[in-house]
Amino acid sequence: MIIAIDGPAAAGKGTLARRLAEHFNLAYLDTGLIYRAVGRKVLDDGADANDAVAAEVVARALVPADLERDGLRTDETAQAASKVSAVPGVRAALLDFQRDFAQAPPAGFQGAVLDGRDIGTVVCPDADVKIFISADVEVRAKRRVKELQDRVGEAIYARVLEDMMERDARDSDRAVSPLEPAADAHTLDTSNLDADQVLATALEIIGSRDE
């Protein structure tokens, strides 16, 4: 069983994907983390995140330890990830790893949940279930502010909102694998739902598919 979860930043993808993986005993892959690792490494190497050649070199040489680097969750890294992810060569370099994970998940799992921007459209077009989750950008910015306040102690709403809108626009407007729902995706707006309600709605979607 392969479940594809796509959507913009802070819509609740990660929480839902993790909970679905636990519920169905599936392996979980946060594909955003892979792009973050590329973006972080480009910055740590002293290069510019808009340098397509540097980004592709880093993506081709990525090793599992890079997914454990410090600073992958910062907004600086998120912006760098968004920039490197628009480079076709970067996406091509990372595609096989994601597809292999979905097709042959780690031992003990009968399938996988992947979350990202192009899982239902490009990485796993034949996924058993595709859910595209969204939420109003103001709601997502507030969630991110709370997360940053809990984690690093401070965050400025106006700045977070601006960063999020910039990232949404870049991820949606890029030529390769833009953020968009697959034609056969179920859409789920989480603006007025908490994590339990999002999980319950997703389980209904998955259950109704089997009827």
What part of residues 155-194 is at the interface with ligand DC (CB under 6 A)? 167, 171
Cα distance between residue 163 and residue 11, in whole Å: 15
Shorter beta-carbon distance to ligand DC: residue 90 or 202: 90
Shorter beta-carbon distance to ligand DC: residue 117 or 143: 117
Judged by CB under 6 A, does residue 93 bind ligand DC?
no
Judged by CB under 6 A, does residue 32 bind ligand DC?
yes
> What is the x/- site pattern for ligand DC, positions 33-52, by CB under 6 A?
--xx----------------
To the nearest whole angstrom, how small is the minimum distance from the Cβ of residue 58 to ligand DC? 14
Q: Which of 56, 118, 188, 202 binds ligand DC (CB under 6 A)?
A: 118
Number of residues that bind ligand DC (CB under 6 A): 14
Shorter beta-carbon distance to ligand DC: residue 25 or 92: 92
Q: Which amino acid is at 162?
A: E
Cα distance between residue 114 and residue 132, in whole Å: 12
